Amino acid sequence: MSGTSTIARLRAEIRHLEQGQCHSGEVLPFEVPALDAQLPGSGLVLGGARGPTDEAAATLFTAGIAARTRGPVLWCLRERDLFAPALAQAGLAPERVIHVEAPDEAALLNCLEEGLRHGGLGAVVSEVPKLSLKASRRLQLAAEGQDTLALALHRTPRPSGVTGQGAPSAALTRWRIATCPSAPLPVPGVGRAHWRVELLRVRGGTGTEFTVEACDATGRLDLPADLANGSGVEGRQELAS
C-alpha cells in the first residue's frame, strides 16, 4: 500500500470518528439546503445525540425532527405538560408517541438510555434540566450502532434552578431555538411562525444560524421567501438562552 493511499485511508477514518458515525451512516436531512450544508453528511446522523436548548419552539423543533424518523417515538418527561395537539401540528402524530413519566432525573436518563438500546424506535426524546458530560457520553454510546435519534431537550430554567446549558456535552450537535415575529399576512391573522435556529456546535463541522419557518404538518422547516430568494439576509443576532 502506497504512502498516499494510507494517508487518504487514515483521513477518512478520522472524519468517520469525528462525525460519530459508528452505525449505518444514514442521516436525516432537514431538506433546507443552506442548513444541511453545515452538517457532516448533509443531515442529522441517525444513532447520535442532539441537544436543542429550550422554549416552546424548541419542543416543536424537536417534535418535527422526531416526526420525520421511522417508528415509534419514546418521549421521557418529568411533568405532564406535553400538549399532543401542538406536536401533531409539527407532524408528530399522537399514536406514534409513547409517553414515560419519570419520578426523578436518574430514572429519566435510564429510560432514555434503555430506549436507545432497544433498537426499534425512531427517536427517543428526554426533557432534561441538565445533562452532564458523563451522562451525555453514556447516551451517545447507547445511540451508536442504532438508527435511533437521541434528542435531549433542556427545560425552561426555573427562577431557582440551574439549566446546565453551558456545560460540555458529547452530543453530536447542539442547538438553540428562539421565536421571531411571524410572517405578515395581507389579511388579518397570524402567519406561519418564524424561528431563529442556531447550530451552536456540530462535531466535524462549523456552527451557523438561520431564520426559518416553523415546522409544517410533516415536520419540515423552510426558509422565509425573502431569504430563499437571496434578499433580506439578516446579520447575526444574540439569542436568548
The whole-number pLDDT of residue 232 equals: 41
Whether residue 236 is contained in a domain is answered as: no
Tell me, what's the pLDDT at 162? 39
Q: Is residue 116 within a helix (H) or strand (E), and if so which, with residue range?
A: helix 105-118
Tell me whether residue 57 is in a domain: yes
**CATH number, residue 42:** 3.40.50.300
pLDDT, residue 164, reads 40
Q: Tell me the three state secondary structure of residue 17.
A: helix
For residue 62, is it within any domain?
A: yes
Which residues is 56 bridged to in the sheet? none
pLDDT tens sequence for the chain (241 residues): 555 666 666 655 555 544 444 444 677 888 888 778 877 777 777 765 455 544 688 899 999 999 999 999 999 988 888 889 999 999 999 999 999 999 888 898 899 889 988 888 999 998 887 778 888 888 888 877 778 888 988 765 444 333 444 567 778 888 889 888 887 777 776 678 899 999 988 877 778 888 999 999 999 999 887 655 444 434 333 322 2
Distance CA 61, CA 52 (A): 8
Q: Report the interhelical angle of 133-143 vs 105-118 (nearest 10°).
A: 20
Predicted confidence at residue 205, as pLDDT, reads 76
Residue length, the chain? 241
- Would residue 207 count as lying in a domain? yes
Closest by CA position to 171, among listed 122, 131, 210: 131
Give the structural domain span for 184: 24-228
pTM score, two decimals? 0.73
Asked if residue 137 is part of any domain, the answer here is yes
Distance in angstroms (rounded) separating the CA atoms of residues 94 and 150: 19
pLDDT of 124 reads 93
CA distance 48 to 66: 13
Kind and range of the H or E run holding 111: helix 105-118
Domain presence at residue 239? no
Domain count, the chain: 1
